Structure 1
Amino acid sequence: MNDSTTVLFVPGAWHSPDCFDLVIQRLEAANYKTDKVHLPSVGPPKHYSNFDVDVAQIHSQIERAADAGQNVVVVVHSYGSLPSNEAIKGLDIKSRQKNGLPGGVTHLFFCCSFVIKEGDSLIGAFGGNDLPWFIVGDDKLEVAADKPEEIFYHDCDPAQIQSAIAALQPHSYQTFHSPCTYAAWKDVPSTYLYCIQDAAIPLAVQKMMVEGTGQGSGMRTETVDASHSPFFSKPDEVTAAIRRAAGENF
């Protein structure tokens, strides 16, 4: 039953989870419960030195849904996969069942996101170097995105681009250097949504990360002809892919 599944949305750097609203509306129309994580590292009053606050926020929202007996599908975008993998530790449905607890994470859905091994960070995944479009503050605490209309939203309509850029906030740069200690995709059934036109994480890099898992995790893949923000430009396709990840056949 769809109403026994909560789809939890974790945005990427700089973004509010409201960016997923077009997809959320479609899922709720199909009787799914949804929840959104506002990452503390996005637009904080004071920048954080690691991703621990993001991990704790995601963990608490997964746990709340699981304690209510929900099967939880965690949808992660871009940077959001790093703290999410960390946060899922101990909250997957098999681990919770072993401990006599209800609910738990049943699927992890990567939306043009990072598949990171234990010990790696986001910056480490790029060989330790900042990307050319990162605008990093002199104190190395804040990062902004240069030319977001080209990097994130180039296939979106002008009104979407304008509102999306207006909603961006500074991000705590040091979260990009936090090493992951747990790769949830090794234990949790996972889907990767390839975005063909992605200018932030090019398709070749997406494939390198997924294929670098050796597919030993049984990671499924879906493909959409979209930019780094398919939830704006292709919400129907993204919704359908998430519903398949949740176990629907249609």
Structure 2
Amino acid sequence: MAAVVLVHGLYHRPEHFAVVAERLWTAGTEVVVPELHRGSLPTDTAAVQAAIDTLQEPPIVLGHSYGGSVITGVRGAGHLVYLAAFVLDVGESAASLGGASPQLRDAINPELGGSTSLHPDRAVDTLYGDCPEPLVTWAVGLLRAQASGCGRGVPEHHSWKHTPSTYVVCAQDRAIDPGLQRRMAARCNDVREWQTGHSPFVGQPDLIVALLQELLAANTSRRRDEGVTTTR
């Protein structure tokens, strides 16, 4: 069965991808949404790698925001999708490339023990400014605290150098500067640009579902042409 792995970003949960995952499942695609917040980029990457390793065929792996740092370090993906996400090269971290916008940094609250959270009211405008109610309230209610340091993590492997990749620039993003996104997108094989904010999986999930189904169909056609029945 064709498969997709959806990788959320900082402060988010797998549940933020619930609508996308449900629509893909309904269409017959296996979907895995790993839980991050493991404490560091290496441990987050290991969690996603473990999910990939359970699948029979190389999946399409989508990373959102910080999730791009995570999927950069995995092996065995059939196609990478960077959704307003960090495409890191050797020695780079999300922070070293510019990281969060000033607006997102202003929304961050320090917590006990060095972790951080997002101020709910500021998160609305920064992450979900183009999303309709009551989806905004739902999405903000799911946000969770985040351990410090993940944005400074440096991947040990750079999968986009060996794996087909698509970058989606979110042109109305207020969390990661669209100009930075376009610079990172130049490292990918394929670039799309959507007139959305940072979180289209909340406000416009049909866009993500359509893109993933397009890539799944292309991968299936390619394997058929190559006479490949399984790769694991």
Would the TM-score normalized by the shorter structure come out above 0.5? yes
> 1:126 — aligned with what?
98
Identify which of 160, 168, 174 aligns with 2:135.
Answer: 160
Q: Does 1:85 align with 2:58?
A: no
CA positional deviation for 1:178: 1.2
In structure 1, stretches of 5+ residues that fail to align are 42-47, 93-104
Corresponding residue SS for 2:60: strand
Q: Which whole-Å CA distance do the structure 2 matches of 1:225 and 1:122 have between them?
A: 23
Letter of the aligned partner of 1:157 in structure 2? P
Identify which of 192, 207, 210 aligns with 1:237.
Answer: 207
Letter of the aligned partner of 1:119 in structure 2? G
Letter of the aligned partner of 2:65 in structure 1? S
Q: When the two structures are superposed, what TM-score results if normalisation uses the length of structure 1?
A: 0.79
* More off after superposition, 10-19 vs 176-185: 176-185
Q: Does 1:56 align with 2:28?
A: no
Identify which of 138, 147, 154 aligns with 1:179.
Answer: 154
CA positional deviation for 1:202: 2.3
> 1:19 — aligned with what?
16
2:126–2:175: 8 Å Cα contact kept in structure 1? yes
CA positional deviation for 1:237: 1.3
> 1:76 — aligned with what?
63
> 1:224 — aligned with what?
194
CA positional deviation for 1:138: 7.4
Q: How does 1:8-47 map to 2 (within 5 A)?
A: 8-41=5-38
1:79–1:114: 8 Å Cα contact kept in structure 2? yes
Q: How does 1:177-216 map to 2 (within 5 A)?
A: 177-211=152-186, 213=187
1:165-206: CA deviation from partner (whole Å, max 9, x where unpaired): 111001012111111222211111001111121111122111
CA RMSD of aligned residues (A): 2.2
1:43-84: CA deviation from partner (whole Å, max 9, x where unpaired): xxxxx3x3222121111111111xxx2231111100011122
Q: Which whole-Å CA distance do the structure 2 matches of 1:200 and 1:129 have between them?
A: 5
Q: Which whole-Å CA distance do the structure 2 matches of 1:238 and 1:196 have between them?
A: 15
Q: Which whole-Å CA distance do the structure 2 matches of 1:129 and 1:203 have between them?
A: 10
State how many pairs are aligned.
Answer: 216
Q: Which whole-Å CA distance do the structure 2 matches of 1:77 and 1:174 have between them?
A: 18
Identify which of 82, 85, 88 aligns with 1:116.
Answer: 88
Corresponding residue SS for 1:124: coil
1:8–1:34: 8 Å Cα contact kept in structure 2? yes
Letter of the aligned partner of 1:71 in structure 2? P
CA positional deviation for 1:145: 2.7
> 2:110 — aligned with what?
137
1:140–1:173: 8 Å Cα contact kept in structure 2? no
Question: For the structure 1 residues 112 and 25, does the alpha-carbon distance in structure 2 shift closer, same or farther, using more than 3 Å as the test?
Answer: same
> 1:98 — aligned with what?
none
CA positional deviation for 1:234: 1.1
Percent of aligned pairs sharing the same letter: 25
Corresponding residue SS for 2:82: strand
Q: Which whole-Å CA distance do the structure 1 matches of 2:5 and 2:100 have between them?
A: 30
In structure 2, stretches of 5+ residues that fail to align are 220-232
1:82–1:122: 8 Å Cα contact kept in structure 2? yes
Q: Which whole-Å CA distance do the structure 1 matches of 2:115 and 2:109 have between them?
A: 6
1:141–1:173: 8 Å Cα contact kept in structure 2? yes
Q: Which whole-Å CA distance do the structure 2 matches of 1:124 and 1:27 have between them?
A: 35
1:5–1:72: 8 Å Cα contact kept in structure 2? yes
Letter of the aligned partner of 2:54 in structure 1? R
